[in-house]
């Protein structure tokens, strides 16, 4: 599929947005690490909320998801460069432009994506 349709720009914009979320997450983790270092082991949680360990787990999980999203964006950009963007990895057919507009990192058409979830 040709690079037309603004997919390269959409991927660049999405990458910048995800990179910003990763930076924010790193900052939150840094602040939390400081809070964990300041708290003694008997006073680790906020009586009004989650424990610091729970929050650490939540933030590291979000950061891992965001890093995987960066990998998907980079893979889609590579497919754009090598001319395989928009080709279903499952059946080899073209992925509809509407799907790619909504999910530019898609590697499968709707039919193949649905059957792979079963």
Please report the pLDDT score of residue 1 as a whole number: 41
Question: What predicted TM-score, i.e. pTM, was given to this entire model?
Answer: 0.81
Instruction: Please compute, for residue 2, the number of CA atoms within 13 A of its CA located in the half-sphere on the CB side.
Output: 2
Residue 72 neighbours by CB distance under 10 Å? 17
| Residue predicted with more confidence, 85 or 115 | 85
Q: Provide the residue ranges of all domains of the chain, joining segments of one domain with +.
A: 1-83, 86-118
- pLDDT tens for each residue of 42-65: 445 556 556 888 999 999 999 999
- pLDDT tens for each residue of 77-109: 999 999 999 999 999 999 999 999 999 999 999
Token pair for 118:
């079963």
- pLDDT tens for each residue of 11-34: 999 999 999 999 999 999 999 988
pLDDT tops 50 at residue 5: yes
């Amino acid at each position: 599929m040709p690079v037309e349709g603004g997919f390269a720009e959409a991927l660049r914009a999405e990458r910048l947005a995800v990179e910003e979320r990763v930076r924010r997450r790193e900052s939150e983790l840094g602040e939390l690490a400081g809070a964990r270092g300041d708290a003694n082991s008997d006073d680790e949680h906020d009586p009004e909320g989650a424990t610091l360990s729970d929050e650490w787990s939540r933030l590291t999980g979000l950061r891992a998801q965001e890093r995987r999203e960066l990998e998907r964006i980079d893979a889609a950009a590579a497919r754009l460069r090598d001319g395989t963007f928009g080709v279903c990895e499952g059946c080899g057919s073209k992925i509809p432009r509407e799907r790619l507009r909504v999910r530019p990192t898609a590697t499968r058409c709707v039919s193949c994506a649905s059957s792979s979830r079963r």
